[in-house]
Structure 1
């Protein structure tokens, strides 16, 4: 007996073809260290760079120029501890290096650093440079971690004043003297650096063979002006950081270094490590390695087994 089936009566299995989910490629990582002058940005960047495979991109508009290492407080070769630095002392001191110039060169440096599978750390006090770099198109490609090294301004003003005295002892006056010109333009290039315009009158009196007393008064007035203008710069930088925090979609991790500046010697070193460096390391570890972490009540507890520590305030 033959049994036949009509094709129309057969039940065919349904085929479910899943749709391919297109995911955006992972963003490349960038750490940005912000803070006012003297707060410890460079120190933190070196601490992080020696804990991770990292290279540093300078975002200080005066340190980008060649020369005036003491006056612009450039990090020394010894302080760099072998960490590669980009855009540090690369521009002609007579030129005007703009925020647009910085953005173009920083993007080249970022691509170069990432090609070596290193972590870029952008650090410097010129927040206008950072703002020019981190626009919407930048954030569509890069994933940024913002660290803000902060300290109480009265404590920081005292530190900045002492630092100017140390810079004078290291030879700042002699360094700036080499840049003195009677008809110098203090509105462009490296001569905009704090310290250069303030010493103009002193060098004029010196070149005119003024008396010792007049020279001493002029030098003291110049040093006082350097300290005052550096403190004013710190206040402007703080206002800019707060504006960026309030108007930009940047989640800043605030690291309060006030206690570090209130201590001396070994106590200051220990406070820096526990309050600033180690906290920043935990934040960057979570960001860089995409580790799972619990962030509740100000406590960062890494699931990798690292010791829990009080986290920085996310402002």
Structure 2
């Protein structure tokens, strides 16, 4: 695949602090990476695919559970149809019995990024495991920051709205066969502290499956245990969402990450066509303008095919101002 040629910066003749700024044009420029963050269920995968189709991108999964093979319903892996032809990396590739650490992610994600930029594409890292993202971006050797410029996008939804969505989603997962999926890999006395068995929706069903194996339990008892397992899965997923949100706040306030917040609450309060329109207006539209400005503003490291406005030029300043008014830091 032919890569776009690097744009040449104009020669600047101003002398500042004894340094000729025209020398800056000879400095090696960094590659660009987009990171999509947010609590579980907020639409990170959807936004990452929207951006990938607009900016010739490929997606690197940063969810510490979705990296494992299996339990597609429980881990809510994106389907092939939902991928819309966008290549995904580190999704369902790790043995479910093994442990995949933050260090493993840093090494694997780094190789994936090199491969993606080497083919002239934009790496888009998406997932809810902020500890993985932090380990990659703020590594001890400063390797990531020295090689990449990064744009952080945060899809946010009011918690009271997200809680209801999460509960409804788990009900849909149960209807789609989640319990059967977990039952197929159930092992008595399994270690729930490693591998894919750490996933929310696996240890919660242990008591229920034990009752199924027991000849002394009756149907009424099993029904109550099943209801309790489903309810506990909902509660633990909401707790996870709160922890994810707290980590994002910490990365902004303590580490000073410049994270663009996109408020998607309205999307979850309406349905059908109205929800799709709200998503475009409040999430995809502003995010596309922010990424367009990130990629094509002065000092760009390279050109990527496929501008956000589809006209072969950057977003107008007025449009960018509207996007910044919608997205907050």
For normalisation by structure 2, the TM-score amounts to 0.85
Q: Could you tell me how far apart the structure 2 residues matched to 1:20 and 1:266 are? A: 51
* CA shift for structure 1 position 305: 8.2
Which structure has more relative contact order (CA 8 Å, sep 6+)? It is 2
Q: Secondary structure at the match of 1:95?
A: coil
Native 8 Å contact 2:192 2:203 kept in 1: yes
Computed over aligned residues only, the root mean square deviation of the Cα atoms, in angstroms, reads: 1.9
The question of 1:314 aligning with 2:328 is answered yes
Q: Could you tell me how far apart the structure 2 residues matched to 1:145 and 1:20 are? A: 26
Q: Secondary structure at the match of 1:83?
A: coil
Name the larger-Rg structure: 1
The question of 1:133 aligning with 2:136 is answered yes
Tell me the residue number matched to 2:304. none
Is the alpha carbon distance of 1:98 and 1:220 closer, same or farther for their aligned partners in structure 2, counting shifts above 3 Å?
same
Tell me the residue number matched to 1:242. 249
Tell me the residue number matched to 1:183. 189
Tell me the residue number matched to 2:316. 303
Q: Which runs of 4+ in 1 moved over 4 A?
A: 304-308
The CA deviation string for residues 182-205 of structure 1, in whole angstroms up to 9 with x for no partner, is 010000000000010000000010
Bigger Cα displacement from structure 2, 242-251 vs 54-63: 242-251
Which of 224, 241, 244 is matched with 1:217 structurally? 224
Tell me the residue number matched to 2:176. 170
Tell me the residue number matched to 2:23. 21
Q: How many residues align structurally?
A: 290
Which of 215, 230, 235 is matched with 1:228 structurally? 235
Tell me the residue number matched to 1:193. 199
Q: What are the ranges of 5 or more consecutive residues in structure 2 without an aligned counterpart?
A: 1-19, 300-313
* CA shift for structure 1 position 307: 8.4
Q: Could you tell me how far apart the structure 2 residues matched to 1:246 and 1:139 are? A: 19
* CA shift for structure 1 position 139: 1.1
Which of 149, 153, 169 is matched with 1:143 structurally? 149
For normalisation by structure 1, the TM-score amounts to 0.88
Q: Could you tell me how far apart the structure 2 residues matched to 1:207 and 1:146 are? A: 48
* CA shift for structure 1 position 21: 2.3
Q: What are the ranges of 5 or more consecutive residues in structure 1 without an aligned counterpart?
A: 1-17, 293-300
Q: Could you tell me how far apart the structure 2 residues matched to 1:306 and 1:249 are? A: 26
Native 8 Å contact 1:251 1:314 kept in 2: no
Is the alpha carbon distance of 1:19 and 1:53 closer, same or farther for their aligned partners in structure 2, counting shifts above 3 Å?
closer
Q: Could you tell me how far apart the structure 1 residues matched to 2:91 and 2:237 are? A: 21
